[in-house]
Chain A
């Protein structure tokens, strides 16, 4: 029996050879253990299961591969794949230095934001630098200046950053959390920013008069299949008919398998007149969140990360000339909407 076959026997059948290769490659490439999850590019619970199997099979000791682990890597033809992201833009391809003044103003506001994210609502904020990298990309694509922008869910205060640039024609936030709505509305008043806040549960219908009236939407959907589609298709319902309108959304491979990515992509391409113009590597980083947990039985991960490690890829889609805003709908979604078997929290169950 090969090294691979012997370790494979310890894993659930849903874990593929390619998944093991990815985790091995991440361990060989990254010194910071929490970074393994970004570069493994498979759902967090699967990566944790593989790390446990590697440890139990004596392939991994602390954060290093053992002799046996190295033999397994050779058997699978796995070698290190270093992080070659540009250090200036962290892989986003855009430079936000031109927005520095706006950034400094935003930073002050961001640091004063109320904490106590609600894990039930899958909240968590990206780092200000990440947000400004996104902003630079949106500017570069011409989706900000003079545009009516809709933000679906705004625990990052992206609306504030956008409004501070003074470039959009309008900024509208759809947010379920009354505290965030109130906070953004207050900020807008205090800083004389033109932001409209709509307290909105996205499973319910959007205000009819706002459908089909925006040029750009941005959202960070939950990572379940239904959750992502709900956010993005609500976004597509807000865009105006016709070409050259844009939608942006973050998606991670840490809580969504590539099979799920494929289902999203197919569904969006089949049902809407759009094309994906960008799927950028995970340059968006999340701040640590209140119930972030260590993995106590895995030594290198037994303390929570010192630096942000949870990252997102960033999608841009653009509408084609025949595009019509998606029909609005209501839906009954329970907890499954936020969490499924690929969610972060699954790794801590059982």
Chain B
């Protein structure tokens, strides 16, 4: 029960503890001790939580460290075993660093590209800058190339502190490259390199919070961006990217997302929002192979009471997954929009800088605040998911007390339909010999059908409406007309009924 006690005291999820301990074991395997920054990169846990877990492991004498390196104590190893974790290696492919692609084909372009990184203006964190390593740039490029999104394509880079525009241009493959970048120093630098090397790159200095110029709208085959990781920040960048894609199928968008600054909760919101609002599909989500030089360039390190993380990292550790989305035939580039100034674009409770500030103040991480419009949209979605395209009620009336139900049936149906705010288009009532009758009402909002066996006191009623009309009201009105002593209902949300029908039928035992 050591584990349960640890989780309770630390207030962390078991899954996160498992990830941190596994990363510790993996990075300890080769030399017996793990580099703290590499563990932070591999664990896939938001940074502040990672620090909480490491501090607690240390306080409980489960973890020991000197300078930047950490190892589990024998008690820590026992904890690992009770988490079902054994010493292990990270099985990431060493040939491609987990990216799944090779870029040897671009050796020459890489050789020309790499020295430029050192000449680039230094990163400014207020622009959320932090650039990819040269290898990571070319791994991304190789992925894009092999998907057919580079050769002869018009490519837009939305923010380009990675200098990917230059890497792309050096391959000689794209038809046209445009860069939209907020930082004037980077704009000058990229334009300067392009002029000197005669590369087909157009540079636009622009703040992505404002609308893009109209000539960029719907003009590109491919976009690439490394968005900020707040809820609106990521959507702003990706949706701006989508607004620059040409209509129709087969266009592609690429963006990086981390698990270091974004919980899976945000991933879910982003994936859902993008799929719901645009005619696009997720075609690839890579392993987090993109490494950032951010750490190595960091001037200040977090003031954390945890020695191995209070010195600058020696090697890149911060990494992101690379998403690819593709447009479908119905795709139309969305309208561009100005940002709501209240939207938090750069920082939220999961951001690294925020985490560092909190940790320095000794405060706990607060949960992410989900914006109101997301919650309401999500509630609407949930309602739509419950209602489907329309609501269908199958009702059973038994032991009906009305012995002359045909009398006044037409008026009863007309009133019931009106009360439910539905529109009656046609009504047919047919009496059968020697007894029994059926009624069919065609509604603007679907239909109503009714079959009666007066000799049994039984009525089978079927009411299907779409839109705002409420089928339950119709059923209730007709119940007053027939006056049954026993009733039963089956409600079916049409359009998503496949599983529901099955489960309801089984639960309520109406069908065999």
Q: A residues within 8 Å of B by Cβ? A: 16-19, 21-22, 25, 41, 77-96, 98, 136-137, 139-140, 142, 145-147, 167, 169, 205, 226, 233, 243-244, 258-259, 261-262, 265-266, 269-271, 273-281, 283, 313, 318, 320-321, 327-332
Contact = CB atoms under 8 A, between A and B. Distances in A.
Given A81-B147, A226-B498, A320-B264, A330 B95 contact: no
A137 B286 CA distance: 12
Interface string B51-88: 00000000000000000000000000000000111101
Given A79-B152, A93-B287, A278-B287, A259 B13 contact: no
Interface stretch (B353-361, B446-454, B473-481, B499-507): B499-507
Contacts of A276: 267, 271, 282, 285
A34 B306 CA distance: 56
Contacts of A330: 502-503, 506
B326 interface: yes
Nearest to A274: B268
9 contacts: A17-B248, A82-B145, A85-B146, A90-B100, A243-B264, A269-B272, A277-B321, A278-B287, A330-B503
A277 B321 CA distance: 9
B268 A85 contact: no
A93 B288 CA distance: 10
Interface stretch (B101-109, B336-344, B397-405, B417-425): B101-109
A167 B500 CA distance: 37
A86 B100 contact: yes
B327 to A, nearest CB: 8
Contact of A77 (B175, B281, B286, B498): B175
Given A22-B250, A233-B499, A258-B283, A275 B271 contact: yes
Nearest to A88: B95
Bin chain B's interface residue count.
35 or more
A227 to B, nearest CB: 12
Contact of A93 (B86, B100, B153, B500): B100
Contacts, number: 212
A243 B150 CA distance: 38
B185 interface: no
Given A17-B248, A84-B142, A276-B285, 17 more contacts: A18-B250, A78-B148, A81-B148, A84-B101, A84-B103, A95-B94, A98-B91, A140-B90, A145-B84, A146-B85, A243-B15, A262-B280, A275-B271, A278-B287, A279-B283, A329-B502, A330-B506
Contacts of B264: 243, 275, 277, 318, 320
Contacts of A226: 498
Nearest to A167: B86
A7 to B, nearest CB: 16
Contacts of A321: 13, 265
B22 interface: yes
A85 B175 contact: no
Contacts of A21: 148, 250
* The 10 A-B residue pairs with the shortest CB-CB distance in the complex, in nearest-first order: A146-B84, A244-B15, A18-B250, A86-B96, A18-B249, A79-B151, A89-B93, A88-B95, A81-B148, A91-B100
Nearest to A83: B146
B84 A278 contact: no
B208 interface: no
A337 B142 CA distance: 37
Contacts of B275: 262, 265-266, 269
